[in-house]
Amino acid sequence: MSDAEPLAIHEVFAYLRVHDTAAALDFYARAFGAKEQFRLTEPSGRIGHAQMQIGPVTIMLSDEYPELGIRGPRSVGETTVTLHIHASDVDRLFEQAVAAGATVLRPLADQFYGERSGTVRDPFGHEWLLGGETEKVSPEEMQRRYTAMFDEA
């Protein structure tokens, strides 16, 4: 590749570390309609790699490998990442996730940025911001509304 040729990024994947990949694949299917693509299972039963698809997006998962420093949020005690799913019917998706076993962290509400959204934590410690568009809002209008929230506080 020459210096003048731009680097092409083809995809970015979320790679989730969980304490039980098989159970996570089942949960994500029930909560978000995920479709398992494949899994690589060791003779011991530990899953070294799995892939699922949620809508058009591929998400990768693996069991924990503490001997390699690979731990999920449940073992560490927290997560610093939130995965955001946009859906045509966020109320239905939210209810589906909670019925599957997700814990509500922030209930659904209409937001200043033109989205109805709420946050859940899955049984494996990952947080999911579930949202759906309620109106088209320009970045300038978002900033105006964001600033107004602080002016009112």
Q: Where are the domains of the chain?
A: 14-152
- pTM of the predicted model over 0.85: yes
Which segments of the chain does DSSP mark as H helices, in order? 21-32, 73-76, 90-100, 139-152
Least trusted range by pLDDT, from 21-25, 28-32, 79-83: 79-83
Mean pLDDT over 53-64 rounds to 97
pLDDT grade, residue 118 (50/70/90)? very high
pLDDT grade, residue 8 (50/70/90)? confident
Mean pLDDT over 117-125 rounds to 97
80, burial (CB in 10 Å: exposed 0-12, middle 13-18, buried 19+)? exposed
Mean pLDDT for the chain?
95
- Topology of domain 14-152, CATH: 2,3-Dihydroxybiphenyl 1,2-Dioxygenase; domain 1 (3.10.180)
